[in-house]
Structure 1
Amino acid sequence: MLRGLSTITYTAHDVAAARDWYAELLGVDAYFAKDLAGALAYAEFRIGDHQAELGLLDARYVPGGPPATPGAVGTVAYWAVDDVHAAHARLLGLGCTEHGPVTEQGPGFVTASVLDPFGNVLGIMYNEHYLAVVGPATTET
């Protein structure tokens, strides 16, 4: 039934600012954008080994409204990275705040999470199983 990470959607009160920040983080521009009522309501990136989709949605359009406090979620999506310490440091340098510290969860599994500048939890993980499935990172597109 569940075949893998497809799309993760984060919310922001200023989607244009979120789009620009994530473009800086990811090193790519959003490939899709949608305006509603004259303002950017949604932007989407395709990233990573399987071109997973990272969407940014204007908080006004979240069913039930956005969480009352930043990071108030029950689920964290973890994105695979090659070096959790380096990725965590870069995220903090780009204005994120720590949500969960770099933690070895077991041999070959290291996690951390941050709150992005827009209040979303962004999880990162070194995962040996993921690497066994997809192989080493490449610079080819």
Structure 2
Amino acid sequence: MTPQNVFADDMQAAADWYAQVFGTQPYFEKEFGGSVAYVEFRVGDDEDEFGILDRRYVPGAAEPGLGGGVLYWAVDDVEAEFARLLELGATEHLPVTEQGPGFVTASVRDPFGNVFGVMFNQHYLDQVAARG
């Protein structure tokens, strides 16, 4: 995962939800105007940045709802993680789908209007292993 941002109207709820998803608390928090405007997590093999930005500060005319790209998080078991995300309050966006040998994806709508995907990608794992 490369640095990514999602957006939320309720920053505390979003930070709490993603803390459950990632199993870790944000390492960085930025206040603006007396309230939290941004939080950031470090996740994955490379401790990539995952940020949540208060929707009030989204550049341009971003509207709540689906749009933009799908952020994929590499997991060991797509079906189990997809089920866990649904249990945490997400709703299905796209079901678990084998895209090809060693490549499985699924995606949900998080409770804040973002699309969040999970994937198993053997090529990704091979690349990580090759780095040592």
Are residues 1:35 and 2:65 paired? no
Query: For 1:110, what is the secondary structure of its paired residue?
Result: strand
Instruction: Mark the runs of 5 or more structure 1 residues left unpaired by the alignment.
Output: 136-141
Q: Percent identity?
A: 57
- 1:97 alignment partner in structure 2: 91
1:10-29 pair list within 5 angstroms? 10-29=6-25
Count of aligned residue pairs for this structure pair:
129
C-alpha RMSD over aligned residues: 1.0
1:42-65 C-alpha deviation (Å, 9 max, x unpaired) = 000001100011100000000113
Q: Which residue of 1 aligns with 2:67?
A: 72
In 2, the alpha carbon distance for the partners of 1:65 and 1:56 equals 17
Q: Please give the TM-score of this superposition, normalised by the length of structure 1.
A: 0.88
Shift of 1:26: 1.2
Amino acid at match of 1:88: F
The corresponding residue for 2:80 is 86
For structure 2, which runs of at least 5 residues remain unmatched after alignment? Answer: none
Quote the Cα distance in structure 1 between the aligned partners of 2:128 and 2:9. 35
TM-score by length of 2: 0.93
Q: Which runs of at least 4 in structure 1 moved beyond 3 Å after TM superposition?
A: none
2:118 corresponds to 1:118 = no
Query: For residues 68-115 of structure 1, what are the alpha-carbon distances to aligned partners after superposition, in whole Å with 9 as ceiling and x for unaligned?
Result: 4x2222x21211111000000000000000111110001110000001
In 2, the alpha carbon distance for the partners of 1:99 and 1:45 equals 23
